[in-house]
Amino acid sequence: MTTDTVLHLDRITKRFGALLANDAISFDVKEGEIAALLGENGAGKTTLMNILFGHYVADDGSISVFGKTLAAGEPRAAIQAGIGMVHQHFTLADNLTVLDNIMLGTERLWRFSSARSQARRRLTRLAQDFGLAIEPDKTVAELSVGERQRVEILKVLYREARILILDEPTAVLTPQESQSLFATLKKLTNKGLSIIFISHKLNEVLSVSDRIFVLRAGKLVAERPTRATTRQELAELMVGRPIAEPRIEPQTRGDIHIEVASVSTPDGLDHADLILHGGEILGLAGVSGNGQTALANLLSGLTHPASGRLSIFGEDAQGWTPERVIHQRIARIPEDRHAEGLIADMSVTENVIAELYRGPRFSRRGFLDWEAADNFARDIIIGFDVKCPSPQARVRLLSGGNMQKLILGRTLSLEPRFILACQPARGLDIGAVSYVHERLLAARKAGASVLLISDDLDEILALSDRISVIYRGRISAPQERNSVTIKELGLMMAGHGFDVPGDAHAA
């Protein structure tokens, strides 16, 4: 520990039942540096930060801030010690102004006058000092996502934080917004603040941080100066074994499988166009909430076009129900596996036949053949490497990655012609992600068409033959992956090139 150490964690340990979430983790953060905490889901990043911020009490170990020991389990003590947390999900009141949001909770309760003008002066100065342009009198509802994040950061700075924790801050940002966030973070560190940047995205961590701490399964497995490490090394440290990057071999496109022509739906598509061929993966990029879910619902048979034309495999598919869609060998990997994909309180066997039980394979005159169903479940468990005690185990007990493998097994084992993959890698660790990607590439090789809807540009760029962007319910004309840059995609995700009436961003 040197004199410029501002935060020191000493052998922090936390157990949840049998799970060792944090195993004697020690690290320190120096003044003016950005320390990245890298790890897969479930590696213990969030638990560690919750201990630091006083939401949890560690079973063992201690924390010192600026040389003083921090009282455990008291968020207020953490704030007073100068720790500020910018959460992944914003904690702002939409109907209040920026100024009110920032002042909220900083004033004494039993006072009649409010020190608004004083607060406004302080806020304006802070914003100037750190180059965070903001309009204090706008309500939060009027702000873009990037601006809201700026407010969150100002809120923490206003409380005189010297150490900022940012939990997956780029999850909701376009690449441009991320770049501007990184520039802001550099400015903050130049002023002597320290930042802990939590992420599982390797590229971001490499471009923004000074030092990288890698967590795996509750343990701190490595500490690397950012300059002296590589993407490949970090990935292997995170997963604990070598990772192969997906290889895409060029192949010719087949027939048109999906044709969406100027379709509008009540839940968010606005004259959307899309053409998808067999044997190709089309990546659909976009900031979440721009109609991705509406497109997925449409192609799943859950909603129907209010106007426009939808044809699948050359047939008119306007009125197709989910049952019909399944019957046409369309595999759907839903965005939310808990809400839509699986029934958590039913067994593995009961879940794998959910889409197929009507067919002659599993039922005769209304009676189900559970033996055939169990065999199918066993085939999937083996074929797709699902870790579960038995076909009778409740799905609730499986990990996120194994749930996803179960969904893949259920739909991909039927040799689908079209795969609708919505956020197929969300919340999975790198090992499971590469497994999912291999399966999608294998299906492409077999001539299936794949629509890959994802928030993660890296994933889209890694897998897609062609890429489109969805913005406010409209879909851009696809571009070859090799001819498009992250920068262009980022601009399109912010609305450039879309002709949307009444939209200031449109160019």
Instruction: Quote the least distance from Cβ 444 to other proteins, whole Å.
Output: 24
Both structure tokens of 106: 């900083």
What's the DSSP call for residue 401? H
- The smaller minimum CB distance to other proteins, of residues 250 and 366, is found at 366
Choose which of 217, 344, 461, 506 interacts with other proteins (CB under 8 A): 344
358 part of the interface to other proteins, by CB under 8 A: yes
From 30-38, 181-189, 222-230, 358-366, give the range in contact with other proteins by CB under 8 A.
358-366
Q: Shortest gap between Cβ of 17 and other proteins (angstroms)?
A: 7
Using CB under 8 A, pick the residue from 109, 228, 339, 504 that binds other proteins: 339
CB 196 within 8 A of CB 37: yes
**Residue type at position 459:** E
Interface map 372-401 toward other proteins (x if CB under 8 A): -------------------------x----
Window of 83-91, 120-128, 339-347, 378-386 that interacts with other proteins by CB under 8 A: 339-347
Q: What are phi and psi of 110, to 5 degrees?
A: -95, 60
- Kindly state whether residue 424 participates in binding other proteins, applying the rule CB under 8 A: no
Interaction with other proteins in 243-302: which residues (CB under 8 A)?
300-302
Sheet holding 34-39, edge to edge: 83-86, 163-167, 194-199, 34-39, 211-216, 219-225
Minimal distance, residue 427 CB to other proteins, in Å:
17
254 φ, ψ (degrees, to nearest 5): -95, -150
Token duo for residue 199: 């992420």
- Match 């950012």 to its residue by tokens: 226
Q: Tell me which of 221, 368, 372, 506 binds other proteins, using CB under 8 A.
A: 368
Least distance (Å) between residue 15 CB and other proteins: 12
Query: Whose Cβ is closer to other proteins: residue 256's or residue 414's?
Result: 414
Rounded CA gap, 204 and 179, in Å?
Answer: 9
Told to check if 74 binds other proteins by CB under 8 A, we report no
> What is the end-to-end Cα distance of the chain in Å, rounded?
53
Query: Does 322 contact other proteins by CB under 8 A?
Result: yes
Q: Select from 10, 24, 221, 357 the one that contacts other proteins (CB under 8 A).
A: 357
Give the interface size with other proteins as a residue count (CB under 8 A).
31
Closest CA to 153 of 201, 98, 190, 213: 98
- Could you write out the DSSP letters of every residue in 293-361? HHHHHHHHTSS--SEEEEEETTEE-TT--HHHHHHTTEEEE-S-IIIII--TTSBHHHHHTTTTTTSTT
CA distance 492 to 494: 5
229 scored as a contact of other proteins (CB under 8 A): no
Query: Using CB under 8 A, which of 285, 342, 420, 430 touches other proteins?
Result: 342
Q: Does 321 bind other proteins (CB under 8 A)?
A: yes
Least CB distance to other proteins at residue 333 (A): 11
What CA–CA distance (Å, rounded) separates 464 from 466?
Answer: 5
Run of H or E including 480:
strand 479-480
Which amino acid appears at position 477 of this protein? A
Stretch touching other proteins by CB under 8 A, among 133-141, 221-229, 239-247, 331-339: 331-339
Is 451 in contact with 421 (CB distance < 8 Å)?
Answer: yes
341 belongs to the binding site for other proteins (CB under 8 A): yes
Rule CB under 8 A: say whether 363 interacts with other proteins: yes
CA distances 64 to 7, 60, 82, 237, Å, are 6, 14, 12, 27
Task: Decide whether 396 or 445 has the Cβ nearer to other proteins.
Answer: 396
Residues of this chain that interact with other proteins (CB under 8 A) are 17, 57, 300-302, 321-323, 325-326, 332, 334, 339-346, 350, 354-355, 357-358, 363, 366-368, 370, 397
